[in-house]
Amino acid sequence: MKALILVGGFGTRLRPLTLTMPKPLVEFCNKRMILHQIEALADAGVTDIVLAVNYRPEIMEKYLAEYEKQFGINITISIESEPLGTAGPLKLAEHVLRKDDSPFFVLNSDITCEYPFKELAAFHKSHGDEGTIVVTKVEEPSKYGVVVHKPGHPSKIDRFVEKPVEFVGNRINAGIYILNTSVLDRIELRPTSIEQETFPAMVRDGQLHSFDLEGYWMDVGQPKDFLTGTCLYLTSLAKKGSPLLTPPTEPFVYGGNVMIDPSAKIGKNCKIGPNVVIGPDVVVGDGVRLQRCVLLAGSKVKDHAWVKSTIVGWNSTVGRWARLENVTVLGDDVTIADEVYVNGGSILPHKTIKQNVDSPAIIM
């Protein structure tokens, strides 16, 4: 089977992290974002993966070559010379996707969930129509495009309603699809949207079905959602009793959902959790309080610091008695001086912060 991952551009929404690291390589819960997807696809029997990008970071090649070897798959980078939207990239990669007649998966690279590829493929095969989109239940459908089914049919889609004012349903497009190769005939090689153009056409022909996603779903393309997605992912690991989580019997673990890379060092009298990810080679000092935060590889949190709702970038340092909160994001190699308070600061790489950032701000 084959798959296409829509990676897109520079990942500006996830800056300042993506100023020094391509978005697919940013670690989400100690695993690069793209690897979560490659792993799940390979597990579902996918052998050919296309990454649709509109820029080509050299650093990606090294990792992709590694993954090809690790999973015994082929990874192709398909570069758009101009942005082709969400459908154009499929046409551009047609030669790979038409390699055989089997259907192919399409997914947005920013989505985290428990990827249901096997079940999705089986369901798609069972209804025999051209396409299936994964849908997820949301609490506030008025913010999204809502999927409405044909009366009396459990999965066949009747129409999409963008940001409905009145309640018409609570299932939205989750950004994961399985499509027959015939769908490629519906797409022209130009900037075009799969949601706005391709799917409505398929709906008119009665060719599009929905598939309900079990469990959590999150677009982690921006820092606030990255943190929320981290909480959801850790919660799902906890439910499964995953050995990736630090056992709650550790004296410093508070409230569970704590993932610590084995190479990280944790000081004395810390209180860590809930919902904390600590990356490789991270050093956490004594008396540190961490909650709802991500410490990326090589970062350091010194004694008595207090960190909440924050992403600490690679090789960054948080000073003693510093306090970070409210979706603070430190880029690569940032230093927060001792005793400094940062409220919702986005700190660009290689900066040193010596004064409080009292209200949310971008520090260039």
Q: Give CA–CA dist 177/323, Å, rounded.
A: 42
Alpha-carbon distance values, 235 to 110, 196, 215, 245 (Å) = 19, 34, 10, 10
339 binds another protein (CB under 8 A): yes
Three-state secondary structure call for residue 342: strand
Nearest CA to 173 out of 152, 188, 197, 157 is that of 157
Q: Is 341 in the site for another protein (CB under 8 A)?
A: yes
Provide φ and ψ at 343, rounded to 5°: -110, 105
Per CB under 8 A, the list member of 287, 297, 352, 363 interacting with another protein is 287
Task: For residue 188, state whether it binds another protein (rule: CB under 8 A).
Answer: no
What are residue 253's DSSP bridge partners? Answer: 272
Q: What is the rounded distance in angstroms from the CA atom of residue 101 to the CA atom of residue 70?
A: 26
Instruction: State the nearest-atom distance from the C-beta of 285 to another protein, in Å.
Output: 9
Tell me the window of 28-36, 74-82, 206-214, 316-324 that interacts with another protein (CB under 8 A). 316-324
- DSSP annotation of 93 reads T
69 is catalytic: no
- Total chain residues near another protein (CB under 8 A): 14
Minimum distance from residue 340 beta carbon to another protein (Å) = 10
Gap between the terminal Cα atoms of the chain: 45
323 lies in the site for another protein, by CB under 8 A: yes
Residue 154: which residues within 8 A CB-CB, separation 6 or more? none
User: Which CB atom, from 51 or from 322, has the smaller least distance to another protein?
Assistant: 322
Contact between 300 and another protein (CB under 8 A)?
no
Helix (H) or strand (E) holding 227: helix 223-239
CB of 311 to another protein, least distance (A): 19
Of 358, 360, 361, 362, which one interacts with another protein (CB under 8 A)? 358
Nearer to another protein, 178 or 307 (CB): 307
Which of 31, 118, 125, 163 is the catalytic position? 163
Q: Which is nearer to another protein, 188 or 358 (CB)?
A: 358
Task: Note whether 254 binds another protein by CB under 8 A.
Answer: no
Under the criterion CB under 8 A, does residue 289 sit at the interface with another protein? yes
Which member of 245, 304, 330, 344 binds another protein (CB under 8 A)? 304
Q: What letter represents residue 227's amino acid? A: L
**Only segment of 110-118, 210-218, 282-290, 310-318 that touches another protein (CB under 8 A):** 282-290
| One-letter amino acid of 127 | H
Closest CA to 52 of 106, 133, 104, 121: 106
Report the nearest approach of another protein to the CB of residue 277 (Å).
20
Token pair 């929320």 is at which residue? 228
Span near another protein by CB under 8 A; candidates 9-17, 36-44, 212-220, 319-327: 319-327
CB burial class (10 A; 0-12, 13-18, 19+) of residue 358?
Answer: exposed
Q: Minimum Å distance from CB 249 to another protein? A: 22
Applying CB under 8 A, among 286, 354, 361, 362 the residue interacting with another protein is 286
Say whether residue 10 binds another protein (CB under 8 A). Answer: no
Q: Is 230 helix (H, G, I), strand (E, B) or coil?
A: helix
Beta strands 104-108; 157-162: pairing state: unpaired
Nearer to another protein by C-beta: 124 or 323?
A: 323
Q: Is the dihedral of CA 198, 203, 207, 209 positive or negative?
A: positive
- Does residue 211 touch another protein according to CB under 8 A? no
Q: 334 — phi, psi (to 5°)? A: -100, 145
Does residue number 320 form part of the binding site for another protein (CB under 8 A)?
Answer: yes
User: Is residue 337 a contact point for another protein (CB under 8 A)?
Assistant: no
Beta pairing partners, 329: 311, 346
Residues annotated as part of the active site = 163
Point out which residues bind another protein (CB under 8 A).
Answer: 269, 271, 286-287, 289, 303-304, 306, 320-321, 323, 339, 341, 358
